[in-house]
Amino acid sequence: MVRNMKRYYTGVHNEHSVLKILIKLIAVFIISTISIALYDMYLNINVDSTPIDSEKTTAVEETEKEIYDTLEQVSSSVVGVSKLQNVDSSIFSLEAVETYNLGTGIMVSSQGYLITNYHVSGNKLSKCYITLEDGEEYTAQVVWTDSNLDLSILKLNTTKQIKYANLGDSDSLRIGQTVYAIGNPLGIEFQKTVTHGIISALDRTIKIKNEDGEVSSYMEELIQTDASVNAGNSGGPLVDEQGNIIGITTIKISEAEGIGLSIPINIIKPIIKKLEETGRFEEASLGVYVYDKEAIQYISSSLQFEYGVFVTEMVSGGAGKLAGIRVGDIIEEIDGIKLNKINDLRRYIYTKNIDDEVTLKVLRNKQEMEIKAKLTRKT
């Protein structure tokens, strides 16, 4: 009996041993199979070994270099503008900028013409002092200015060959476009500072107040950008990525951060062209004060019109009054050109000469009429 029990236990033990060995063999088989399968998958993985496109990388680097080179070239045409001669660099501070009308200008012609702001240069025939890239100082005379546009053109008194920048096309600008502002934000100590941003908005209209806090005029079609501007940037260029001047910095909105405004360059291009061709610019005038539909809302909410400019005042003895234009008329077209903005009228008149005749399409009491006017000299 005991012997049989021994035999039974021995048989069970043997069966357990065989089962363990069998399980181990199965486990080894499974592991081996999985390992072989994983290894096979590893060998067949399609690794993207496409090399880095060196041509694309090189193209990006070249584009960046072109922008850097372009900005350097434009910066060489940026000048300092002041009403004081031989101002020591130690007082080119924020206080000096605000006290002495220190600002920025941009050379735009091989004949020595430069653009800045009216509030920097002062009235026509005023004398300013211009500091060039090499530190040399020259005098310049204001040959044209418009306080409503806050623009001036000066003629540099030198026979020296001057570096100048190209004028771009402000009519083709797009919101989101990359731009650069160049100027002397705090005077000579920070001269030729370049800031970078985008065009945030176009066709901005702002109110200009006088010393009494009353609205004296309006500035229209302004370019809004988030490129940083400060006191002293006034009159400096707003530049596109090709190095073309597309605007002239005028003011910063003090109540908000990141809002700078520039005057579109196209408004002044006809004047530059005439100065280069003839050496002088005698400004013709229609002799009317007008507002477009954007600005008229600040005067009266009841005045509404689809397009054209609304006549609010006449110049005594001016072309408009002599031709029979009246206050309250809406000038819709000039020589077949549809008017939407005040600057549409300004730009066209800048291309004309004194005594030129223009044909106006006028809306009066809901009746359209045609009026011919002979342009007079602006006084």
Is it the case that residue 115 has pLDDT exceeding 70? yes
- In a domain, residue 261? The reply is yes
Give me the catalytic one of 76, 93, 119, 285: 119
Active site residue 119: yes
- In a domain, residue 87? The reply is no
Is it the case that residue 2 has pLDDT exceeding 60? no
294 vs 170, more confident: 170
Q: What is the pLDDT, as a whole number, of residue 348?
A: 95
Q: Is 352 in contact with 270 (CB distance < 8 Å)?
A: no
CATH assignment at residue 321: 2.30.42.10
Query: How large is the average pLDDT for residues 41-59?
Result: 60
| Kind plus residue range of the DSSP H or E element containing 70 | helix 54-75
User: Where does 258-356 show beta strands of DSSP type E?
Assistant: 260-264, 284-285, 288-292, 309-314, 330-334, 337-338
Same structural domain for residues 233 and 299?
Answer: no
Strands 260-264 and 215-225, by their bridges, are: antiparallel
Per DSSP, the three-state class of 371 is strand
Same structural domain for residues 174 and 242?
Answer: yes
Q: What is the pLDDT, as a whole number, of residue 90?
A: 40
CATH assignment at residue 234: 2.40.10.10
pLDDT tens across 243-260, in order? 999 999 987 665 556 688
Give me the catalytic one of 146, 150, 240, 344: 150
Query: Considering only 21-25, 95-99, 101-105, 255-259, which range has the smallest mean pLDDT?
Result: 95-99
Inter-CA distances, 59 with 54, 69, 173, Å: 8, 15, 25
Q: What is the pLDDT, as a whole number, of residue 92?
A: 44
pLDDT tens across 205-214, in order? 887 766 666 6
Q: What is the pLDDT, as a whole number, of residue 50?
A: 56
Strands 367-374 and 260-264, by their bridges, are: unpaired
Query: Considering only 101-115, 208-222, 298-312, 332-346, which range has the smallest mean pLDDT?
Result: 208-222
Domain count, the chain: 3
pLDDT tens across 191-238, in order? 678 888 999 999 888 877 666 666 567 788 899 998 877 767 789 999
Token duo for residue 322: 């002599």
Same structural domain for residues 292 and 371?
Answer: yes
Same structural domain for residues 254 and 297?
Answer: no
Same structural domain for residues 246 and 187?
Answer: yes
Q: What is the pLDDT, as a whole number, of residue 97?
A: 46
Q: Is 184 in contact with 102 (CB distance < 8 Å)?
A: yes
pLDDT tens across 318-364, in order? 999 999 999 999 999 999 999 998 889 999 999 999 999 999 999 99
Q: What is the pLDDT, as a whole number, of residue 276?
A: 94
- In a domain, residue 106? The reply is no
Same structural domain for residues 178 and 257?
Answer: yes
Mean pLDDT score of the chain: 82
Determine what percent of the chain is predicted with pLDDT higher than 90: 45
Query: How large is the average pLDDT for residues 57-81?
Result: 80
- In a domain, residue 17? The reply is yes
Query: Considering only 283-287, 289-293, 308-312, 358-362, which range has the smallest mean pLDDT?
Result: 289-293
Same structural domain for residues 242 and 287?
Answer: no
Domain boundary among 241, 272, 303: 272
Is it the case that residue 303 has pLDDT exceeding 60? yes
Residue for token digits 């196209």?
266
Q: What is the pLDDT, as a whole number, of residue 102?
A: 77
| Kind plus residue range of the DSSP H or E element containing 317 | none
**Contact partners, residue 295, CB within 8 Å, separation at least 6:** 205, 218, 220, 342
Domain boundary among 218, 247, 272: 272
- In a domain, residue 81? The reply is no
Same structural domain for residues 263 and 311?
Answer: no
Cα angle 224-306-303, degrees, rounded to a multiple of 5: 90
Same structural domain for residues 263 and 298?
Answer: no
- In a domain, residue 102? The reply is no
Same structural domain for residues 313 and 235?
Answer: no
Active site residue 13: no
Give me the catalytic one of 234, 292, 329, 344: 234
Same structural domain for residues 259 and 310?
Answer: no
- Position 48: which residue type? D
Confidence of residue 94 (pLDDT cuts 50, 70, 90): very low
Same structural domain for residues 197 and 263?
Answer: yes
- In a domain, residue 307? The reply is yes
Active site residue 240: no
Q: What is the pLDDT, as a whole number, of residue 49?
A: 53
Measured between alpha carbons, how far is 354 from 132 in angstroms, rounded to an integer?
A: 35
Tell me which residue range forms the domain holding 174: 170-272
Q: What is the pLDDT, as a whole number, of residue 16?
A: 60
Measured between alpha carbons, how far is 154 from 126 in angstroms, rounded to an integer?
A: 9
- In a domain, residue 119? The reply is no
38 vs 285, more confident: 285
| Kind plus residue range of the DSSP H or E element containing 369 | strand 367-374
pLDDT tens across 4-47, in order? 554 444 554 555 666 677 677 776 677 777 767 666 666 665 55
